[in-house]
Copies of this chain bind each other. A is one copy, B any other.
C-alpha cells in the first residue's frame, strides 16, 4: 500500500526519488498490528535512500504531525524535498483488538484502565455537547453528517466506502455508544498516503499548492482534566496559530477536511476551528451548509467517516485530498467554484493533540 502511495505521489510531483532529502513517516499501531516498530527505515528503503527518516506518532494525528515536521524541515533550511508518508494496517487485528489498540490514544491511567473505549469517549463528548446546548433534533443532525460524508465518498475512488446512505438508515442504525450509532462512527481501515513537499525554488513540473500556514497544540490527555469535555481547546489553539502563521482569516477558507472520526467530531471541529459559534454547528448540518454546495464545504473526500480512517495515514491523506481539490483534479472539484484556500484539521485521540494546515492555490505568476 505504501509503495503504491509513494509511487503515485512522486509521479504526481514530477520529482525523482533521488531528489528526496528526508522522509517523515506516520504510524500509530505497527507494534501491535505487524510486530514492527522502527518503520521509518523501511520507507527510506522504498526510495532507495540512506536519507534521514523518522517516525512520528500522535495517535490519530500522527499523519498531520508528520506533515508539520516535514514543513519545518524545509523552513529550517535542512531539506529542499521531503517525503511525508503515513500507513495503518489494521486488518490483522480483530475488532476487539482494534478497540484495545485505539484506546491507547486515550489516557491509560484515568480512562483505558477503567474500561473507556474510543466510541465511549466520543459519546461522552457528544453527551456533554448535547447537555450544554440542547439541540432540538440531534439524532437527525448527526446522521445528516454521515449522509453528507458518504455522499462525498461515493465518487472518491480512494474511499473505503464508495456508497451513499439515506437519512433514515443512518438514523436507525444500531447503537454503538449512546448517542453515537454505527453510522456516526468511522470504519476500521487499512490505508496509506504520501505527499511530496518541496522548497519554493525546487524545479518541478507539478501543479503545486502552497503550505501557507501551520499550527499545533495539545490538551490534557484525559477528558476529565479538561476545562470542557467538548470544547476541544487544542483545535482552537492550533487553528489560531495556523491563521496567524498564514496571515489569513476564517473568511479566506473555501474548503475544509476536518477530523470526523465520529459525526460529533466534525461538529466539535467546525466550532473549535472558529467557523461556528459554540452550539451552532450541529444543526447547521441539517441545513446542508457543509455539503459541496453549502457555504462551508467540509470533508469533500468523504472524511474519516466514509473515506476511512487508516490512523497513521489519515492526516497525510487530508493533505493529498485537499491538494487535488484546490488544483481541480478531484472528483468533487467540479461542484466547487475555484477554491483558493483549504484547511486540514487532524486530531489525536480525543483531541489531546491537534494540528491545522492551511493550503492555498499557487499562482503561476
Contacts and interface: CB of A to CB of B under 8 A. Distances in A.
Contacts of A30: 104
A45 B78 contact: no
Nearest to A51: B218
A344 B30 CA distance: 28
A40 B353 contact: yes
A65 B72 contact: no
Contact of A218 (B53, B104, B220, B237): B53
Interface stretch (A56-64, A183-191, A282-290, A299-307): A56-64
Given A41-B348, A52-B217, A352-B41, A31 B31 contact: yes
B58 A57 contact: no
Nearest to A216: B52
Contacts of A49: 218
A221 interface: yes
A56 B55 contact: yes
Contacts of A65: 54
A103 interface: yes
Interface of A: 23, 28-32, 34-38, 40-42, 44-45, 49-59, 65, 68-69, 72-73, 75-78, 100-101, 103-108, 112-113, 216-221, 225, 233-234, 237-238, 348-349, 352-353, 355
8 contacts: A28-B37, A36-B108, A37-B105, A50-B219, A51-B217, A51-B218, A54-B69, A55-B56
